[in-house]
Amino acid sequence: MELRHLRYFVAVAREQSFTRAAETMHVAQPALSKQIQQFEDELGVPLIERGSRPVRLTEPGRLIFEQALQILERVDDLRETGRRLRLTERNRFRIGFVASTLYGRLPEILRGYRLKRPDVDLTLLELLTLEQIAALKEGRIDVGFGRIEIEDPAIARVLLRNERMIVAVPMTWDASHAPGPLKLHDLADTPLIVYPKGARPNNADRILALFRDHAVRPPVIHEVRELQTALGLVAAEAGICVVPASVERLRRDGVAYRPLDEEKALIPVIMSYRKDDPSPEIGLILACVHEDYEREGLTFGV
């Protein structure tokens, strides 16, 4: 039995709907239903009356629901205790990031932070944006730098900037097409490579939505786990990949970069942190962002 079983079951019981519970927990409904079934199988009793609309609990389900609430409250108490202990531990700070931010301003921002806090043990964890939200709520990281807008009442988000998107194309493709910026319609007959493959929502959703909005349907879509893999496939002439403009700093044999001339071809850089976190390090990181952007002539929040 795992805590997520309890959280998913409590969410279904409170929302009286698998659909609303899945939205609240940021998971797909089939995955949520599977977790509830596993929970019932482990307990050996049905918890939910099948076919009931709205969802109703069985008698055993009502008893388990009350105990689950008590357990989760105790877990929250433990987490709060841990949070208070962290506040007294000023020499550790943990940052989550998506890989593409490393090709933008994040390394310079972190260097600025290290100069101001040389005594801090700075830990960096590569996490998808959705994974960062969970890690923040569980206290595994203190700040996240991601790319996807995810609403959560426990998490504060700050838009640092909107970055232009460009197209990574094979060198042979680049040589055989007219030079200059591309329109999405120029890519209609070319296989598309998207990343990451994993928990949704993610960057792949954003790219696919951009193509749908322009009524462009690639003949083939390859979904891969990482940006580096995507660029490797571009170099192997398996297709093209839409990436943040900062990725152009990553030079790779066999890959050329073209501007993308579409008004909505933007991808944000978003900093996330816990709303109730009083740590002064949050403000210091933001100050480092402002200082770096000012030096580079970048506009904050646009």
- pLDDT tens digits for range 64-80: 899 888 988 888 888 88
Whether residues 24 and 77 fall in one domain: yes
Q: For 51-55, 232-236, 257-261, which range has the lowest pLDDT when averaged over its residues?
A: 51-55
Residue 71 sits in a domain whose CATH number is 1.10.10.10
Whether residues 252 and 118 fall in one domain: no
Across all residues in the chain, what is the average pLDDT?
91
Domain membership of residue 302 (yes or no) is no
What distance in Å separates the CA atoms of residue 240 and residue 245, rounded to the nearest whole number? Answer: 14
End of a domain among 40, 59, 86?
A: 86
Whether residues 78 and 40 fall in one domain: yes
Whether residues 246 and 194 fall in one domain: yes
Domain membership of residue 82 (yes or no) is yes
Domain membership of residue 139 (yes or no) is yes
Averaged over 207-232, what is the pLDDT?
95
Cβ-defined contacts of 13-16 (< 8 Å, 24+) = 13/55, 13/57, 13/61, 13/65, 15/55, 16/54, 16/55, 16/56
Whether residues 82 and 120 fall in one domain: no
Domain membership of residue 301 (yes or no) is no
Q: Which residue do the tokens 């931010």 mark?
A: 101
Whether residues 234 and 272 fall in one domain: no
Q: Number of structural domains, the chain?
A: 3
Least Cα distance to 101 among 128, 122, 76, 138 occurs for 128
Tell me which residue range forms the domain holding 186: 162-266
Domain membership of residue 254 (yes or no) is yes
End of a domain among 86, 106, 137?
A: 86
Domain membership of residue 227 (yes or no) is yes
Averaged over 88-110, what is the pLDDT?
88
Least Cα distance to 8 among 20, 153, 44, 82 occurs for 20
Whether residues 177 and 247 fall in one domain: yes
What distance in Å separates the CA atoms of residue 104 and residue 292, rounded to the nearest whole number? Answer: 11
Whether residues 272 and 137 fall in one domain: yes
What distance in Å separates the CA atoms of residue 124 and residue 126, rounded to the nearest whole number? Answer: 7
Averaged over 265-293, what is the pLDDT?
94
End of a domain among 42, 59, 86?
A: 86
Whether residues 182 and 260 fall in one domain: yes
* Residue-level pLDDT at 89: 54
* Residue-level pLDDT at 86: 64
Domain membership of residue 284 (yes or no) is yes
Residue 53 in this model has a pLDDT that exceeds 90: no
Whether residues 197 and 153 fall in one domain: no
Q: How many CB atoms lie within 10 A of CB 92?
A: 12
What distance in Å separates the CA atoms of residue 5 and residue 39, rounded to the nearest whole number? Answer: 6
Which residues does 298 contact at the CB level (< 8 Å), separation at least 6?
105, 161, 292
* Residue-level pLDDT at 204: 92
Question: Could you give the C-alpha distances from 69 to 61, 72, 101, in angstroms and in order?
Answer: 12, 5, 38
* Residue-level pLDDT at 231: 96
Q: Output the six-digit token pair for 190.
A: 């070319």
Largest CA distance in the chain: 69
Whether residues 243 and 173 fall in one domain: yes
Averaged over 108-136, what is the pLDDT?
93
Residue 144 sits in a domain whose CATH number is 3.40.190.10
Report strand pairing: 143-146 vs 255-259. Answer: unpaired
What distance in Å separates the CA atoms of residue 265 and residue 163, rounded to the nearest whole number? Answer: 9
Averaged over 11-20, what is the pLDDT?
88
Whether residues 166 and 250 fall in one domain: yes
Domain membership of residue 211 (yes or no) is yes
Q: For 31-40, 170-179, 181-190, which range has the lowest pLDDT when averaged over its residues?
A: 31-40
